Amino acid sequence: MYPASFRYLRPRSLAEALEFLTRHGEEAKLLAGGHSLLPAMKLRLASPRYLIDIGGLRELRGIDTSPGEMVIGALTLHAEIAASDSVRRLLPGLAEAASVIGDLQVRNRGTIGGSVAHADPGADFPVILTALSAAFVLQSSSGKRRVAADGFFRDFFTTALAPDEILTEIRIPLPPRGAGTAYAKLGHPASGYAVVSAGAWLIVDSAGNCESARVAVGGLDGIPRRAAATEAALQGRPLTAENIAAAAARAADGAKAEGDTYASAEYKLHVATVFARRAIEAAAGRAGRQDRA
């Protein structure tokens, strides 16, 4: 529980942080909330030579609602997202995910950008953000680029981030009238990470049929997976309990899962369908009742 020695750098601006990152590249790690990195360092699973503490960069923190899009700074805390009125009103599924991360201490220190960039297979934000069609703004000394959540997560703890890039913003399209979002998770009793989880985003038309659906499932094979068969089964159908159950039953179609000391692969594949159903049911319940963006 004593990390190896490292140099601690505290940039005063994003520009300076990017400069440090360019200079030290793969020898450096960014420190935000520290809730994943510091334990790894204490266990000596990670031994970066340089620690660039971006925690003080106010410019990366905050929630903005611009026309058509919600913009969340990468250093915004889980607790801030869970408590944000605009998030709760416009994207209740995101607030729900933020409110079930880890425990109170984690939520008071952990950041959304840290969670996304770390890409733990049991993390909550990647799953709901995939369902919400979020995009991530990645910045380096040479410029900015925008990567969709669908292509961002590559593998366990692996993302599209280059060593000289910082994730600065999470941008989420605001759902139109009649949309509903929700998140449901089975947490691991020790870590609080998701054993499996599911995020849902639904648009219901005036006749009560599902106009469009995006469902993402996490915890199965390292990265959030869109449940394509489920989405297709919901499309154009009334959101009855039977239809939802039938669609959710296909949430793990084609997915592979890895068993571990806590849960078997079979269990994970099964409960993925249960939590997909619970997320879809909750989202369907919210669809139509939600305020306009």
- Residue 57 or 198: which CB sits closer to other proteins? 198
Q: How far is the CB of 42 from other proteins (least distance, A)?
A: 8
Q: How far is the CB of 98 from other proteins (least distance, A)?
A: 17
- Residue 36 or 139: which CB sits closer to other proteins? 36
Long-range contacts of 236-239 (CB under 8 A, 24+ apart): 236/209, 236/210, 236/211, 237/209, 237/210, 238/207, 238/208, 238/209, 238/210, 239/202, 239/204, 239/208, 239/209, 239/210, 239/280, 239/284, 239/287
Most distant pair of Cα atoms in the chain: their distance: 63
Q: Which of 196, 200, 185 is nearest to 221 (CA)?
A: 196
- Residue 75 or 186: which CB sits closer to other proteins? 186
Cα distance between residue 5 and residue 25, in whole Å: 18
Q: How far is the CB of 130 from other proteins (least distance, A)?
A: 22
Using CB under 8 A as the criterion, which residues of the chain lie in contact with other proteins when the complex forms? 1-2, 4-5, 39, 43-44, 103, 186, 188-191, 261-264, 266-267, 270-271, 274
Q: Which of 133, 118, 248 is nearest to 196 (CA)?
A: 248
- Residue 157 or 267: which CB sits closer to other proteins? 267
Q: How far is the CB of 221 from other proteins (least distance, A)?
A: 17
Q: How far is the CB of 167 from other proteins (least distance, A)?
A: 24
Q: How far is the CB of 227 from other proteins (least distance, A)?
A: 17
- Residue 114 or 178: which CB sits closer to other proteins? 114
- Residue 66 or 261: which CB sits closer to other proteins? 261
Q: How far is the CB of 69 from other proteins (least distance, A)?
A: 35
- Residue 6 or 14: which CB sits closer to other proteins? 6
